[in-house]
Amino acid sequence: MDLRHKRIVVTGGSGFLGRHLVQRLRGAGCDKVFVPRSAEFDLTQEDDIRRLLGQQRPEVVIHLAALVGGIGANRANPATFLYKNLLMGAQLIEHSYRSGVGKFVMVGTICSYPKFTPVPFKEEDLWNGYPEETNAPYGLAKKLLIVQLQAYKQQFGFNGINLLPVNLYGPHDNFDLQTSHVIPALIRKCAEARERGDRVLTVWGTGKPTREFLYVEDAARAIHLAAQKHDSPEPVNVGSGDEISIAALVRLIAQKTGFQGEIRLDPSQPDGQPRRCLDTTRARQLFDFQAEVRLPEGLDRTIAWYESARKPAQGHAA
């Protein structure tokens, strides 16, 4: 599919991943990209979805909008995370089908995988167990949307694809300690601890779990490629294929932010899923995606952006 002159709606297009994807689409010649704002279109409301699709008449819908957060936010809001994510996706898929949308790109989550999935995660293992408890409601909501697109393909011939990105990071990430994911939270904690001259930095968990991270611009490129080249509802992992322990990640971020104190792990706090690392063979075979930005380089870029973005606020406070 040549996207350049298609009418494209990107939900969540003003968010972290969304702004990078929209920039990439427009840079590639897509001149009819619309980003709905939540103040005008509440995607949990069916009437707002009908109005959005009626006004824009999109040929392609890329669904990024989601209520997301780290372990703490998921533990505090399991019902809200399940309800709002399921409602947004289910209604948007249904009305996109009814409105004659030509292609629906669903961006899910690897939180949908079972807690004890063998590493590297293969797409065929998606249903072999229950997700990790702290984010299971969110993961299951997104998982059901995979099934919905598969069912709509089977019954109606509706063209929807399912992408499962690993943990993302990069410039414009969410650095709010109450709702952020691990990399932005650690960058902020290390930078602030350095500035205060703290001797100790406490980090949740044992440090033993592993994670895989994908630089946000790589993720945007993957979605762009998949939207053009891929036409099956079977889920596809999107990641870097590189695994790192939380303890090693903390040390790396501390070194790159200049924090020189002691790192103290707090095993009384939850670890989350024991390991996360994806088999990315399917993405490479189906739409020629392979990550380009390695973690050390991506962290350098992210930290530089964060430090630059904070300076005006610090100067104003002074």
Per annotation, catalytic residue among 138, 152, 169, 215: 138
Provide the token pair at 134: 């702290």
Q: Which domain holds residue 49?
A: 8-317
Whether residue 67 is contained in a domain is answered as: yes
Q: What is the mean pLDDT of the chain?
A: 94
Chain segment 205-220, per-residue pLDDT in tens: 999 999 999 999 999 9
Predicted pLDDT of residue 318: 39
Whether residue 1 is contained in a domain is answered as: no
Whether residue 3 is contained in a domain is answered as: no
Whether residue 2 is contained in a domain is answered as: no
Provide the token pair at 23: 């920039």
Chain segment 77-94, per-residue pLDDT in tens: 999 999 999 999 999 999
Alpha carbon of 94 to those of 33, 46, 90, 151, 223: distances in Å?
21, 10, 6, 11, 21
Q: Give residue for tokens 């807690």.
A: 115
Predicted pLDDT of residue 71: 76
Helix or strand or coil: residue 263? strand
Number of domains comprising the chain: 1
Report how far residue 194's alpha carbon sits from residue 303's, in angstroms, rounded to the nearest whole number. Answer: 13
Whether residue 70 is contained in a domain is answered as: yes
Written as one string, the DSSP assignment of 82-140 is HHHHHHHHHHHHHHHHHTT-SEEEEE--GGGSBTTPPSSB-GGGTTSSPBPGGGHHHHH
Chain segment 239-277, per-residue pLDDT in tens: 998 899 999 999 999 999 999 999 999 999 888 888 889
- CATH code: domain of residue 96: 3.40.50.720
Q: Is 138 a catalytic residue?
A: yes
